[in-house]
Amino acid sequence: MNKKNWLLVLSAFVFTVTTFSSCKKSNDTSEEKSTEWFQKAAYKGPQTSSAASFVIKNIAYVTTGQSSNAGSKAVHLKNTYAYDPASNTWSEKDTLADKDARSGRRGAIAFAIGDFGYVGGGNDGANFLKDFYKFDPSAEKGKQWTKVADLPIVLANAVAFTIGGKAYVGTGETTIANGTAFTNQFFKYDPELNKWEAIPDAPFAAKRKGAFVFVSGNTAYVGGGVSNGGYPTDFYKFDGSKWTQLADLDNDRGVNRSNAAAFVIGSNGFLVGGSKGTASSSVVKYNISGDSWTYDNTSFNGGARQDAVGFAIQSTGYVATGLNGTTRFDDNWSFTPVY
């Protein structure tokens, strides 16, 4: 075979291999997507739902929540555990404590400001609460929690987020003269003054509890939840001074859900699990710049659940604990999206 013919054969071979490789890559999306979820070290506490979480310096803290004893009776927790993703280990911290030693609670409110975490509110099984506490991870054992100013109202199952060194807490369930009620009230906390102040109510179409929130830059995105048996579709962003309505949540695809885990990775927000009548394992992605939702990420490998904690550390999301029916969980999963 002459040199010219050898070159033709070689060119044809390279073209064939390149084409095959290209086709294989495009057709293997589902295989690549299957590697989005990785099981990590199990939560150190009991099987738990409705816990609270916050992140300080790439360490996640999970505290309070609800478990059950051998007789299936509800147990309201005050344990606190820290998760270090670098070593994939959990360590025990001080329990949330107050002077009445009645600090076990579910549906508590949590956020971080600087080097401190804050947790309070919730329900202890008999009462809605408004007491609040600051957590200092650098403090010696036995002195990690200190009391701060109470919330202006008793409140559970609310959203909480931090913008510009201030915390914002709102929606959720509270008490009124003749029972309980959902609310659209919001409050701002100034850690330097240790003071809460009421700000204008959120302009949501329906009062709700169990809403989701994620923060990108200095903007919070709030939606979902449950309101008198329905699942609201209105969706808003908040920059610390004003609310702006965004495109409604997709009702047909179930983006309007309650009690979902939520976090931000890069320029996208993610919702994992939650409930719309039944617990879900679906994952939906919100494109922040495009104000649009997509559904191309794999379902949560840990199975359907609601009332899990969700947080992001660097470019990885995490989902731990949760509830499906009467079953609670202590598993912990990391999520690295394949786009």
Question: What's the whole-number average pLDDT of the chain?
Answer: 90
Band (pLDDT 50/70/90 cuts) for residue 16 is very low
Position 112: which residue type? Answer: A
Give the DSSP per-residue string, 160-197: EEEETTEEEEE-SEEEETTEEEEB--EEEEETTTTEEE
Q: Give the DSSP H or E segment for 54.
A: strand 52-56
- Tell how many helices (H) and how many strands (E) occur in the chain: 2, 28
| Angle 83-209-148 from CA coordinates, rounded to 5° | 55
pLDDT of 71 higher than 80: no
pLDDT digit string, tens, across residues 150-163: 999 999 999 999 99
- pTM for the structure as a whole: 0.89
Band (pLDDT 50/70/90 cuts) for residue 169 is very high
Quick one: pLDDT at residue 99? 58
User: Cα separation of 186 and 170, whole Å?
Assistant: 4
Higher-pLDDT residue of 36, 13: 36
> Residue 305 gets which letter from DSSP?
B
Quick one: pLDDT at residue 34? 63
pLDDT of 54 higher than 70: yes
CATH superfamily of 39-335: Kelch-type beta propeller (2.120.10.80)
In the structure encoding, which two tokens stand for residue 195, read together? 């003071």
Give 55's contacts (C-beta < 8 A, 6+ positions apart): 61, 112, 311, 312, 313
User: Cα separation of 224 and 254, whole Å?
Assistant: 10
In the structure encoding, which two tokens stand for residue 247, read together? 């495109």
User: Which is nearest to 309 in space by CA: 86, 47, 54, 38?
Assistant: 54
User: Cα separation of 283 and 261, whole Å?
Assistant: 10
pLDDT digit string, tens, across residues 278-317: 999 999 999 999 999 999 999 999 999 999 999 999 999 9
Quick one: pLDDT at residue 24? 33
Give 327's contacts (C-beta < 8 A, 6+ positions apart): 47
Q: What is the mean pLDDT of residues 38-60?
A: 98
Quick one: pLDDT at residue 26? 34
CB atoms near residue 190 (< 10 Å): 14
CB atoms near residue 210 (< 10 Å): 27
pLDDT digit string, tens, across residues 170-225: 999 999 988 999 999 999 999 999 999 999 999 999 999 999 999 999 999 999 99
Q: Are 53 and 62 in contact (CB under 8 A)?
A: yes
User: Cα separation of 316 and 248, whole Å?
Assistant: 27
In the structure encoding, which two tokens stand for residue 3, read together? 């040199």
Band (pLDDT 50/70/90 cuts) for residue 27 is very low
- What is the residue extent of each domain of the chain? 1-33, 39-335
